[in-house]
Amino acid sequence: MIHLYCGDGKGKTTAAMGLALRMAGRGKPVVIAQFLKGADSGERYALSLLPKVTLLPAPEHIKFSFQLTPEERAAEQRRYLRLIAQARTAAREIPDGLLVLDEVCAAVNTGLLPLEEVLSCLEAAACEVVLTGRDPAPELLARADYVTEMKKLRHPYDRGTAARQGVEW
């Protein structure tokens, strides 16, 4: 089945990683692909310690999509095509497992990843799949079996508090 965690609230990635932890705890294979995020995050460090979890490659640090030069944008588009291809292959090989496509909705929305590639990955998947991100495409909403919207009621960002290590990343 396909799970979609969306909305403007905090918790989309946290929910996805919680499901990854639950599956790994049951001895099931987990593959995680993260879009628009670098490798410097607490969840990646923790999940890398689990033998059933495979983290697909991510650069240590990345720029926000609006900061990319045209050349960097093209390079990121090529990297995301490689990443979704790896995810598609993995999703075929773990029929009793979980594939997490973290921030895939945002990757589509920013034009860094074609929606058709994500839909192709979903069609090929023989496993449970989690998609996260704001403003999912209608096609992704239609395909999802579970849709959970995180709604922001209040967030420290609104008061100017910067993202905190261990909480937001």
Q: Give pLDDT tens digits for 138-161.
A: 999 999 999 999 999 998 888 999
The conformational region for residue 52 under phi > 0 = left, psi -120 to 50 = alpha, else beta, is: alpha
Q: What is the pLDDT of residue 125?
A: 96
**Residue 116 falls within a domain, yes or no?**
yes
The structural domain count of the chain equals 1
pTM of the model: 0.94
Q: Are 135 and 105 in contact (CB under 8 A)?
A: yes
**Residue 164 falls within a domain, yes or no?**
no
Q: Are 168 and 25 in contact (CB under 8 A)?
A: no
Domain that holds residue 102: 2-152
Number of Cβ within a 10 Å radius of residue 143: 17
**Residue 159 falls within a domain, yes or no?**
no
pLDDT digits (tens, 9 = 90+) for 57-94: 999 989 988 899 999 999 999 999 999 999 999 999 99
Q: Which amino acid is at 86?
A: Q
**Residue 162 falls within a domain, yes or no?**
no
Q: What is the pLDDT of residue 90?
A: 96
**Residue 54 falls within a domain, yes or no?**
yes
CB-neighbour burial class of residue 142 (10 A; exposed 0-12, middle 13-18, buried 19+): exposed
Rg (CA), the chain: 15
CATH of the domain at 120: 3.40.50.300
**Residue 111 falls within a domain, yes or no?**
yes
pLDDT digits (tens, 9 = 90+) for 14-65: 999 999 999 999 999 999 999 999 999 889 999 999 999 999 999 998 998 8
